[in-house]
A and B are shown apart, each in its own frame.
Chain A
Amino acid sequence: MTAAAPAPTPAPETVAASAGPADDASNRLLEIADLTVGFPTRDGTVHGVDRLTLNVGSHERLGVVGESGSGKSVMGLAILGMVLPPGRFMGGSVRWKGQNMLDPAVAERVRGREVAMIFQDPMVSLNPLKTVGAQLRELLRRRAGLRGRAVRARCIELLDMVGIANPAERLRAYAFELSGGMRQRVMIATALACNPELLIADEPTTGLDVTIQDQVLTLLHDLSTELGVSVLMITHDLGVVAQFCDRVQVMYAGRIVERAPIADVFAEPQHPYSLGLLRSVPRVDRDDEELEGIPGEPLDRARLPSGCAFEPRCPESGDRCGQAPPDLAKITDRRWVACFNRSAPPS
């Protein structure tokens, strides 16, 4: 949880990038610029996220999609000012409504109140020794400042909101007595306890059965609409992005390779990695001839090529790609891509 050191490598060419609704500066909740988080290893510093720039607007559902090791979870934690040692901030800024989230005092005040997070495994996030009610009560007293009768009333209201039947009875249950889907509902209730404006959901339905995943996603979607909460959905599942989000950014090796409204990305992916990803996913709604996959192996993050990280696996790589990593550049009104072979039409 180190506060930002002065950025050692300010990227001169990186523009404050954004697309979609968050382009409107007055509408921005979260603004991340050039964020770099490093992890020292024997082979040198690995950049968990590398000069990442991102804005989230109000009433927005933004998807962050990538495979293992793409840096999407590191990003999610860094937004809340949480970088677990030995990781550390190496540069850039994270601003929540203009306040510096890299200042521990600010992060402490915002975390769990204005910005809340839910994780993949509720069994780890819930205290196994306390009842659901005890955990919610503690949270409401400490973070929301509720007292007396209001606490219990709010507990029941929250469980009811996330679709848990017999909420008064469930308050007495321990985590192990609940099913996986039910536990994730409790986690969502906990996250919503202080009326956050942004919910960071890190693989919230991974590990749940599809019918339960469907219930949880529908619940999250409805709640975010009803309560006007923005959601940053971190996932490896392109299906979840397509069905849940308004915009998506695709990450590879700690960097954003493409960002656009979902309709654009799914209809016409521009970055060769986004394209490869979409061609790797089998479809449940039609017979597909062949899965193309992406050749090669996932990246060894300690041995990044000096050029574009995707270059070794890219079917379109050219001379420039091996030299320096491409910047995320605006190629149309709504779309940003980091690829030398995709550039803006001359204007």
Chain B
Amino acid sequence: MTDAQNPPAPAPAPAADDADDAGGGGRPVADGPIVEGRGLTVHFYKRVGSRRRTVHALDDFDIAVGPGETVGLVGESGCGKSTAGRALLGAVRPTAGRVLFQGEDVTDLSRARWRAMRKHVQMIFQDPYSALNPKRKIGESVAEPYLVHTRLRGRELESAVIELLEMVGLPAGAAGKYPHAFSGGQRQRAVIARALALRPGFVVADEATSALDVSIQAQIVNLMVELQAEFGLSYLFISHNLAVIRHISDRVAIMYLGRLVEIGARSDIYENATHPYTRALLSSVPVPDPASRTAHIPLTGDLPSPMDPPKGCRFNTRCPVAVDQCFTDRPPLEERSPGHSVACWVN
């Protein structure tokens, strides 16, 4: 899907009965958000036989991340959560919509300007094995951002790298070793050190702990929380793991097939889930406690293809409570209580 050459896309026809604004999803936080996406839409084009098909990866997506805040982004595979994160970092050019960084519109920045922006926004990926060049020593990989963006060299550079490694709990001696000498958890620490080298304000963590064993995952989650407190970082924490998201997030956004279906404070989502998809998702997580066998809301069927998303509400093919309107009109994301917005005609 990444071979998409997005032509200067025709502005997508706004969905049938677009709500005036998208509700409280993009609600600004106290000091004004550090990063904001407004109406972000990303379409990829894929050739199927002789036809060009549109993949609706992300559709009219609103989000705002405040300073020092962690927003969790959850959904099943193919729901567009990674695309959303990449669009906010300028790694994917949106087909429509705007990206704002500290209030400034950065959507149409040139490549060179985006390169300068990278000081402020960073990404941590799932797989620490492919994120580090196996032929480079850990120290070299971690020093890279300094070489690109600063004039630190020589002895000063060395001590900056060692300071970074110590900050993430790696021994100073790690700098001289190659990635193969480290476990997955240690590599992820090195990746975090590199991402934080330039003290970015905003970090997108895309399944950053998903490949790790639980005892190590806990270490990395704790490290990310500590570093956030220390540097006042903002995270967009993308994961399919609803328990990790609950642990780490201040606010949580639930996506389904490219659209936001519910967003709210952690307690809104985990204690007062409103969208039928959120409810089903939460009920399907196996709880590590035999005493709490949850009442399941079974979802039948599979995710429809993003090349051919259902009309109206995209969840209508699997929704246990769908009514006629759900098959014709797209439900707007509406604020139900301060900060808690839901896109559903029924609930």
Contact = CB atoms under 8 A, between A and B. Distances in A.
Given A211-B299, A297-B185, A281 B291 contact: no
A100 B293 CA distance: 39
B222 A293 contact: yes
A236 B213 CA distance: 8
Contacts of B2: none
A68 to B, nearest CB: 6
Interface in A160-199: 179, 181-182
B298 A218 contact: yes
Contacts of A211: 76, 280-281, 284, 299
Given A243-B286, A280-B217, A282-B247, A298 B183 contact: yes
B202 to A, nearest CB: 23
Contact of A291 (B241, B247, B281, B282): B247
**For A179, A212, A267, A295, which residue has the most chain B Cβ atoms within 10 angstroms?**
A212
Contacts of B20: none
Contacts of B247: 282-283, 288, 291
A242 B302 contact: no
A68 B302 contact: no
B55 interface: no
B290 A284 contact: no
**For A239, A290, A293, which residue has the most chain B Cβ atoms within 10 angstroms?**
A293
Nearest to A210: B284
A243 B290 contact: yes
A297 B186 contact: yes
A266 B288 contact: yes
Interface string B300-317: 101100000000000000
Contacts of B289: 242, 266, 283, 285
A278 B288 CA distance: 8
A154 to B, nearest CB: 25
B298 A215 contact: yes
B155 to A, nearest CB: 30
Nearest to B293: A243
B99 to A, nearest CB: 28
Contacts of A290: 222
B110 interface: no
A110 B246 CA distance: 45
B214 A67 contact: yes
A274 B290 CA distance: 15
Contacts of A144: none
B287 A212 contact: no
B242 interface: yes
A262 interface: yes
Contacts of A244: 286
Interface residues of B, number: 44
Contacts of A241: 288
A314 interface: no
A122 B215 CA distance: 27
A276 to B, nearest CB: 6
Given A209-B240, A211-B76, A67 B287 contact: no
B281 A210 contact: yes
A277 interface: yes
Nearest to B285: A284
Contacts of A210: 76, 240, 242, 281, 284-285
B218 interface: yes
Contact of A67 (B213, B221, B282): B213
Given A210-B240, A218-B296, A242-B290, A294 B215 contact: yes
B327 interface: no
Contact of A239 (B186, B246, B266, B287): B287
A283 B183 CA distance: 25
A227 interface: no
A237 B303 CA distance: 23
Nearest to A279: B218
B126 to A, nearest CB: 13
Nearest to B287: A285
Contact of A214 (B213, B241, B298): B298
Contacts of A282: 218, 221, 241, 243-244, 246-247
A263 interface: yes
A332 to B, nearest CB: 18
B215 A262 contact: no
A284 B214 contact: no
Contacts of B246: 282-284, 287
A297 B246 CA distance: 25
A331 interface: no
Given A209-B76, A211-B76, A239 B290 contact: no
A173 to B, nearest CB: 14
Nearest to B302: A179
Contact of B286 (A209, A239, A262): A239
A95 to B, nearest CB: 30
A292 B186 CA distance: 17
B39 to A, nearest CB: 27
Contacts of A181: 302
A215 B287 CA distance: 15
A109 to B, nearest CB: 35
Given A210-B76, A210-B242, A297-B186, A239 B285 contact: yes
Nearest to B76: A209
A213 interface: yes
A242 B287 contact: yes
Given A68-B213, A214-B298, A285-B294, A237 B286 contact: yes
A201 B303 CA distance: 25
A242 B280 contact: no
B270 to A, nearest CB: 7
28 contacts: A179-B302, A209-B76, A209-B77, A210-B242, A210-B284, A211-B76, A211-B280, A214-B283, A214-B284, A215-B298, A215-B300, A218-B296, A218-B298, A239-B285, A239-B286, A239-B288, A242-B289, A262-B290, A276-B215, A281-B243, A282-B241, A283-B247, A284-B242, A284-B243, A293-B219, A295-B219, A298-B213, A298-B215
Smallest CB-CB A-B distances: 6 pairs: A293-B218, A239-B286, A214-B284, A294-B215, A67-B213, A209-B76
Interface of B: 76-77, 183, 185-186, 213-219, 221-222, 240-244, 246-247, 266, 270, 280-294, 296, 298-300, 302-303
